[in-house]
Structure 1
Amino acid sequence: MQAFIANIQGLTAIAIGIIIGLGAIGACLGIALMGGKYIEACARQPELMNPLQTKMFLLAGLIDAAFLIGVGVAMLFAFANPLLSRLA
């Protein structure tokens, strides 16, 4: 039984790393692509800079919020693992 619990804890640690790592990569790529398109749009039409800037920061916040939800789920598995509570 101890080996089974240790196996679950080890695989949970790997899953936490994957959740946070892939979420961070996705958020970084999303914000980078959006920032590049924002700069391109501002270079083409400078008069739209202020409305586009507002929308860009709103979307950047939403992208980061999705990443932080993933971090919250990972912390749930790290500190209150529902997989181990079933065994007790």
Structure 2
Amino acid sequence: MHAECAPKCDYRCSKASRQKRCLLYCNMCCKKCLCVPSGTYGNKQECPCYNNWKNKKGGPKCP
């Protein structure tokens, strides 16, 4: 596990309505992309991998 993922995802998901789900996907995305966008929402252009990873339905995979 990438050491910086947990604290970055804790902050990223701090205002999410579904905390556990947000943390699960944020950590998954962080491990793959080695990047978490700043702030609690948006700013995904900072991490192209994080921004471009889609779910099966074509929606964004990463919170």
Q: Same fold per TM (> 0.5)? A: no
- Report which structure shows greater RCO (CA 8 Å, sep ≥6): 1
- Scaled by the length of structure 1, the TM-score of the pair is 0.25
- Scaled by the length of structure 2, the TM-score of the pair is 0.30
Structure with greater Cα Rg = 1
**Structure with higher helix content:** 1
